[in-house]
Structure 1
Amino acid sequence: MSPLIYMIIISSLTTGTIITASSHHWLMAWIGLEINTLAIIPIISMQHSPRSTEAATKYFLTQAAASATILFSSMMNAWLTGTWNILQMTTDTANILLTVALTMKLGLAPLHFWLPEVLQGTSMTTALIITTWQKLAPMSLILMTVNNLPPKILIIMGLTSSIIGGWGGLNQTQMRKILAYSSIAHLGWMAVIAPIMTNILIMNLALYLMMTTTMFWSLVLSKSKTIQNMSTTWTTSPAMATILLLTLLSIGGLPPLTGFMPKWLILEELTTQTLTAAATVMALSSLLSLFFYLRLGYVSTLTLSPNSPQTKYKWRFKPTTPTLLMSIMTPPALFLLPLTPMIIF
């Protein structure tokens, strides 16, 4: 792809998210979502393979359906109330439709089926964009309308997503599909806390972006696309294998790493609000996710003998992938837990 065209597409991708996050009119928010969707389609299909074309088609159809539902719900609210203001969604039917559309855009269960398939058909870098940057625009709309969205639907979808995100990742061998189910599980935690306390939601989203970026970029640098590829990471770069293990444990939510912070605060808030059953289901579902994170860590670093394993090594070429992004994201993705009181209060 031409550098000029690539720059235009990336600029459009950035502009669409900024327009949606900064608008108060539903038509402007919808326009931003459409710009965002149309900009990511060429990036997904850039590999010119049947699998990438299939992924781009699935992504386009899903996002177009969700955007149309958002426009329909906002038109229904404007018809009944006379306002297009995002903050004044007061019609119950429109709010239910909006919740369904935004959860479809995010990939929450039971509307999650497109996310693993789309990620599997793209490159690692594109999958990183889909699981991080593409979540910002729908999440900003949820933050603006969360006072009007039905809390029961959000909590039920969050519980379902955390269960399916943990359960679906157990049977996968492809890293992109595993991280897709990991994203579904993390979004489930965000959906559960969204109607209760939005500052924890924002904190969880920020930490999710840091941890996911670190995880994807370490896979890009080690050129690991399957669990089998991860078994030779240590021979290529011991430091990378160590960072990979710590990042996996952090995403799984083990103390004293950063990923423990949002889970701890969300479970505490759920029990404070007497949602003990929901907190129990969330805690048990996180064990499912933790199982396949530990399996990845076990394969990549914990099964090594003192001698070199008898496998075909990846060639040790000089790394050409820039490491600045990973250098910035790794420390906060691992060591932010002691700063919890400063972040919350």
Structure 2
Amino acid sequence: MSPTIYLIILLSLISGTIITLTSHHWLLAWIGLEINTLSIIPLISTLHHPRATEAATKYFLTQAAASAMILFSSMFNAWQTGTWDITQMSSTTSHILLTMALAMKLGLVPVHFWLPEVLQGSTLSTSLIIVTWQKLAPMSLIYLTIDNLSTTILVTMGLLSTIVGGWAGLNQTQTRKIMAYSSIAHLGWMIAVSSLMTNLMVMNLMIYLILTSALFWSLIYSKSKTIQDTTMTWNLSPMMTIITMTTLLSLGGLPPLTGFLPKWLILEELVTQNLIPTATIMAISALLSLFFYLRLTHTTTLTLSPNTTTTKLKWRFKPSQPTTLMLIFTTISTLFLPLTPLILL
């Protein structure tokens, strides 16, 4: 792809998200989501491969259906109440339609089937954009309309997402599908607490973006598309092996790493709201996710494939791409937990 075209697509992607983030009118929010969707489709289909074309088609159909549902719910609300303001949604039908549409946009259970398939058909760098940047616009709409959405539906969807995200990820050997189910599980934690405490949802989203970006950059750097590929990480960079290990453990939510912070606070909030069965099931489902993170950790750090002499010395070469951002994100993903009192104050 030409650098100019690539820059235009990235700028359109950024501007679409910013339009949705800053809008108070439903039509503007819908326009931002459409720009966002149309911008990323060329990025998904850059490989000129049937799998990439299939992924782009699935992504387009799913996102277009979700955007149509958002537009329909806002039109129905405007017909009932006479206003297009995002925060003034009082129609019950509109609430349910909007909740399902945003769940489809994010990839929450039970409308999550498109996410693993789309990620598997995309490159690692495009997958990184889909599971991080593409979540900002729908999450902002949830943040703006949270007072009008059904708490029961949100908590139920969050609970199901954590269970399915952990359970379905156990059987995967492709790193992109593992990260897709990891994304579903993490979004489940955010959605479950969104109607109870929006500050926790925002903090969890920020930490999720940092952790996922750090791990994806490690996978991009080592070109690890399957679990078997991760066994070559040590040859490429011994330091990268340690960084990937700590990032994976942090994603699993082990103390004293950063990923423990949102799970701890969300469980505390659920118990405070007397949702003890929900908190228990979510904590158990986190163990399912932890299993496949530990499996990746094991293959990355403790397993070494049979190598020739030349491949053992790959760490001597200079990196093929800049690593500054990756170092910043991996440092934050490891050492952010001691700053918890500053965040809570």
TM class, shorter-length: over 0.9
1:28: which partner in 2? Answer: 28
1:130-141 alignment runs, 5 A limit: 130-141=130-141
1:154: which partner in 2? Answer: 154
Letter in 2 for 1:11: L
1:226: which partner in 2? Answer: 226
Letter in 2 for 1:342: L
1:296-307 alignment runs, 5 A limit: 296-303=296-303
* 1:30-75 Cα distance to aligned partner (Å, 9 max, x none): 0000000000000100111111000000000000000000000000
Shift of residue 318 of structure 1? 3.7
1:3: which partner in 2? Answer: 3
Separation of aligned partners in 1, 2:288 and 2:52:
30
2:206: which partner in 1? Answer: 206
Separation of aligned partners in 1, 2:124 and 2:312:
18
Instruction: Could you tell me which runs of 5 or more consecutive residues in structure 1 were left unpaired when the two chains were aligned.
Output: none
Letter in 2 for 1:24: H
1:326: which partner in 2? Answer: 326
Shift of residue 302 of structure 1? 2.4
Shift of residue 315 of structure 1? 8.0
* 1:248-295 Cα distance to aligned partner (Å, 9 max, x none): 000000000000000000000000000001000100000000000001
Letter in 2 for 1:7: L
Using the size of structure 1 for normalisation, the TM-score is 0.97
* 1:181-240 Cα distance to aligned partner (Å, 9 max, x none): 000000000000000000010000000000000000000111111100111211221100
Letter in 1 for 2:58: K
Shift of residue 2 of structure 1? 1.6
Q: Are the aligned partners of 2:235 and 2:313 in contact in 1 as well (CA < 8 Å)? A: no
* 1:10-38 Cα distance to aligned partner (Å, 9 max, x none): 11000000000000000000000000000
Using the size of structure 2 for normalisation, the TM-score is 0.97
1:144: which partner in 2? Answer: 144
Residue 110 in structure 1 maps to residue 106 in structure 2: no
Separation of aligned partners in 2, 1:4 and 1:230:
33
Letter in 2 for 1:34: E
Shift of residue 310 of structure 1? 2.2
Corresponding residue to 2:307 among 293, 305, 311: 311
Deviates more, 1:331-340 or 1:97-106: 331-340
Q: Are the aligned partners of 2:200 and 2:266 in contact in 1 as well (CA < 8 Å)? A: yes
Shift of residue 166 of structure 1? 0.2
Residue 174 in structure 1 maps to residue 170 in structure 2: no
Secondary structure of 2:122's counterpart equals: coil
Q: Over the residues paired in the alignment, what is the CA RMSD in angstroms?
A: 1.1
Q: Are the aligned partners of 2:162 and 2:286 in contact in 1 as well (CA < 8 Å)? A: yes
The percent of aligned pairs where both chains have the same amino acid is 66
Shift of residue 129 of structure 1? 0.2
Separation of aligned partners in 1, 2:324 and 2:60:
31
* 1:62-114 Cα distance to aligned partner (Å, 9 max, x none): 00000000000000000000000000011011001000000100000110000
Separation of aligned partners in 2, 1:50 and 1:311:
33
Separation of aligned partners in 2, 1:257 and 1:239:
18
Letter in 2 for 1:197: M
1:166-315 alignment runs, 5 A limit: 166-303=166-303, 309-311=305-307, 313=311
Secondary structure of 2:170's counterpart equals: helix
Separation of aligned partners in 1, 2:27 and 2:344:
34
Secondary structure of 1:171's counterpart equals: coil
1:33-182 alignment runs, 5 A limit: 33-182=33-182
The alignment of Structure 1 onto Structure 2 pairs a total of residues equal to 341
1:19: which partner in 2? Answer: 19
Separation of aligned partners in 2, 1:42 and 1:219:
22
Going from structure 1 to structure 2, the CA distance change for 1:271 and 1:222 (only over 3 Å counts) comes to same
Letter in 1 for 2:282: M
Secondary structure of 1:321's counterpart equals: coil
Shift of residue 344 of structure 1? 1.7
Instruction: Could you tell me which runs of 5 or more consecutive residues in structure 2 were left unpaired when the two chains were aligned.
Output: none
1:337: which partner in 2? Answer: 337
Letter in 1 for 2:241: A
Deviates more, 1:324-333 or 1:163-172: 324-333
Secondary structure of 1:256's counterpart equals: coil
Deviates more, 1:157-166 or 1:324-333: 324-333
Secondary structure of 1:88's counterpart equals: coil
Separation of aligned partners in 2, 1:262 and 1:13:
28
Separation of aligned partners in 1, 2:27 and 2:296:
44
Q: Are the aligned partners of 2:251 and 2:259 in contact in 1 as well (CA < 8 Å)? A: yes
